Amino acid sequence: MASSAPSRRARRRLQIVVSVAAAGIALVVLYLVRDALAAFVLGALLAFLINPGVDWLENHHVPRAAAIALIFTALLIGVAALGSVFVPLLTTEIQQLQAQAPAIANQAQQRLTQLQGQPVEIFGFRVDWTTYVDNIDRQAGAFLLGQFGNALSIGLAAINVLLQILLMLIVAFLMSLEAHQISDFARRLVPPDYRDDYDALRPKVKAMLRSYLRGQLTIAAIIGVAVGVTLALEGVPFAFALGVLAGITALVPFVGPFIGAVPIVLVGLSVSPLKAILVAASYFLIANFVLQFLYPRIVGAAVHLPALVVIVAFIAGFSFAGILGMFIAIPVAATIAIVFEHIYPRVYGSQA
């Protein structure tokens, strides 16, 4: 009995070392494929989203590969149907916006120049822009011109996007096809003494990820539609394209909606200073309403993190993988929080 205890402890230490080494190897592999990391992450997320439907079809005697193919086909048909309605309008507006970007930049700079030293009166209140208009004036043109490259750059970017989408679909197909084997392999890597903890944590993490993805996609759609409709009612040019841009940037948690405000306000400024103020006010009203009132109800308590943790996670995610890192920073931080809450009673003897 005395010799079995040290043997068990040695075996447990070896199991922990192997698990940590496997995690380290996985991180090294992620670093090596960092240039294509977006396709792998998005493919994994797509597989995660379609797996419930794939499992349902498989339980109804549809081969798993065929079930994935059916879901992919349905998704492609849906995207094609939406594209046939909206893509022509979006393409037209993007081409017009690209062609008029220099003119928009010049008009915005002219408006800013007119504002220098001239207080603006809004609803009887005088607002002096002199203190900050100089910085905006220096950056407005460069920002707009930097968003729209020449035809060659756009063509190369389009090819890169198509290759990334193809890689994403391949990753999603393979990960969904081997979902159960991957899950079993991950569980086998966990030392036997901790597999009950793994089984308890896994459904919590899956629920959090589903809530997070559902929330981000829903919020992006709401902001995109609301901003596009509002801009159209306010008479802002390229309302549809700017609404799509607002929806895409809203996929970045919390800060994304405010990133999308910059080009929208600059386009409004090219019309008039008052239009820019109106656009900015309506945009931030929509974004704050969605983030403060709708987002907590859609996501629930699954992704509840302190503000400081969110900021640190954003900085770490952006340093590691740019915008994509910001997108995955919140679920990674939420997963760490779930693990911490699970092990806290065991470590400290009380609830966190």
Q: CA quadruple 244, 250, 251, 255: dihedral positive or negative?
A: positive
Q: Where are the beta strands (DSSP E) in the chain?
A: 120-122, 125-127
Residue 344 CA: distances (Å) to CA of 194, 198, 305:
15, 15, 17
Burial state string for 57-72 with b = 16 or more CB within 10 A and e = fewer than 16: bbeeeeebeebbeebb
Question: Over its length of 352 residues, how does the chain's per-residue pLDDT go in tens digits?
Answer: 455 555 767 777 777 777 778 778 877 877 777 667 777 888 888 888 888 889 999 898 889 899 999 998 988 888 777 666 565 655 665 556 655 566 655 665 565 565 555 555 545 555 554 444 455 445 544 444 444 444 445 455 556 667 777 888 888 898 888 888 888 888 887 878 788 888 888 888 888 888 888 888 888 888 888 988 898 888 888 788 888 888 888 887 777 777 778 778 877 777 777 888 888 888 888 888 887 788 777 766 567 777 777 778 878 887 777 777 777 888 888 888 888 888 888 777 666 5
Distance CA 293, CA 296 (A): 6
Q: Report the candidate in 107, 123, 93 with the shortest Cα–Cα distance to residue 232.
A: 93
Name beta bridge partners: 282.
none
